[in-house]
Amino acid sequence: MPQLNPYLNFNGNTEEAFNFYKSVFGGEFAMVMRFSDVPSDVPMPDASEADANRIMHIALPIGKNNILMGSDSPEHYGEINHGNGFWISITVDSKEEADKIFGGLSAGGKVTMPMGDTFWGDYFGMFADKYGVNWMISYAENRK
């Protein structure tokens, strides 16, 4: 079965954002690579000297089969705007885990829908984190 891994781009604060995500989800980074880590014989037309310390790729395993990945966009690409066209949806194994992840990730962000029981039967909440990334947290007792 294919594995789906969200890949997020940021405006130079990927390391900060991923350290925040790591504080919520736990675990260790599977990879952290900066633009300066690229060997000199590999052409990198999109990166400048100003981008050297930016994150070229970072990977945070979450659970058994999920990896949250990201990078900093080179400055000359312009401002990254996460917008409202996508959401990362997380399904958890308990209400307690839902509350923990919701509380951790939504800290400093904007809650759209607080965690609560819904008419479709899930315990569910939505928010944008402090980096502008949209999240949905869901627990469904009948889907255990």
Please indicate whether residue 38 or residue 139 has the higher confidence score (pLDDT). Answer: 139
Q: What is the pTM of this model?
A: 0.87
Instruction: Give CA–CA dist 81/9, Å, rounded.
Output: 9
Average of per-residue pLDDT across 48-65: 88
Question: What phi and psi, each to the nearest 5 degrees, are found at residue 96?
Answer: -60, -45
Average of per-residue pLDDT across 51-78: 89
Domain 7-74 CATH assignment equals 3.10.180.10: yes
Instruction: Give CA–CA dist 111/102, Å, rounded.
Output: 9
| Mean per-residue pLDDT of the chain | 90
Q: Which pLDDT belongs to residue 132? A: 94
Which regions of the chain carry the CATH code 3.10.180.10? 7-74, 88-143
Domain 88-143: CATH superfamily is 2,3-Dihydroxybiphenyl 1,2-Dioxygenase, domain 1 (3.10.180.10)
Average of per-residue pLDDT across 29-47: 81
Closest CA to 21 of 79, 81, 67: 67
Closest CA to 58 of 1, 18, 117: 18
